[in-house]
Amino acid sequence: MLELGLKVFISYLIGSLNGSLIIGRMFGGVDIRKVGSGNAGGTNALRTQGKMFAFWVILIDVGKGSLPTWLLPGLALPWIGLDPEISRTWLTYAIGGAAIVGHCYPVWFRFAGGKGAATAIGVLAVIAPLLLLPMAITWVLMLIISGYVGLATICAAVVIPVYVAVTALPEGMDLLVFTTLLAMFAVFTHRSNIQRILSGDEERDMQSRWRDRAR
C-alpha cells in the first residue's frame, strides 16, 4: 500500500504542474486565470493567447499525463520496491487518474487548474491508445456540428466507455470502469460549460455547420 500511496501522490504532484500557468509565467507573466473564461486549460489558452502559446500548454498537459502513467507503475522506488500484492493494471489507472486530478486541482496553483482533457489524452495514450481514435472522431464531429469545444470534449469523453463496452467486454471490465469514471469526471469539470450552453451564454469556438444548414 505504501507503493500505491506514494506513486499516486507523485503523479498528483506532476499533474499539478499546470501548463497554462507555467507557460504564462515564461511569456511575460500572463495569468491565464485572469483572462477569457478564467480557466487554466488549453482551450482558454488558445482563445486568449494564440496557437503557439496553446501548443506548448497542450504539450505539457499531455506529457504530464502520459509520463507518470508510463513510468511509475513498473518503477522500483528506493526502499520501497514493487509490491507483489498490488495489481499493476489498477495501479496504472490510479496513477493516471491522480495526474488528471492534479491538473484540475493543482496544489502548486491554489487548486485552480484546467478541466483535464489534455492530461486525460496523455493518460489514455499510454493505457489504451486505440481509444484515441473514436474519441478524436467524436470530438471533431461534435465540434463541427455544435461549434462548442466544451460540448465536443464531453461527448468525446462519454463515447469512450460506450466504445469499450461494445468492443472490449467481458475482458475489458477494468478498462470500462476506469473510462466510465473518467467520463463522469469530464462531465463534472465541464459543468459550467453545460450551464452556459443551456442558458445561451456560451460563446461558440467555431461556426456551427449544423446551424448554417438549418437556416
Residue 78: the pLDDT is 84
Residue 183: the pLDDT is 97
CA distance 126 to 164: 16
Query: For residue 126, which amino acid is it?
Result: V
pTM of the model: 0.86
Measured over the CA atoms of residue 109, residue 111, residue 117 and residue 123, the dihedral's sign is: positive
The grid cell for 26 is 515564461
Which residues sit opposite 77 in a β-bridge? 81
**pLDDT, mean over the chain:** 87
Average pLDDT over residues 66-86: 90
Residue 176: the pLDDT is 97
186: which residues sit within 8 A by CB, 6+ positions away? 115, 116, 117, 120, 153, 154, 157, 158
Residue 215: the pLDDT is 46
Least confident of 24-38, 76-90, 173-187: 24-38
CA distance 103 to 94: 14
Residue range 127-145, pLDDT digits in tens: 999 999 999 999 999 999 9
Residue range 86-110, pLDDT digits in tens: 999 999 999 999 999 999 998 987 8
Residue range 146-198, pLDDT digits in tens: 888 889 999 999 999 999 999 988 899 999 999 999 999 999 999 988 898 88
* Residue predicted with more confidence, 50 or 74: 74
Average pLDDT over residues 121-126: 96
77: which residues sit within 8 A by CB, 6+ positions away? 3, 6, 7
Calculate what percentage of the chain has a pLDDT beyond 70: 91
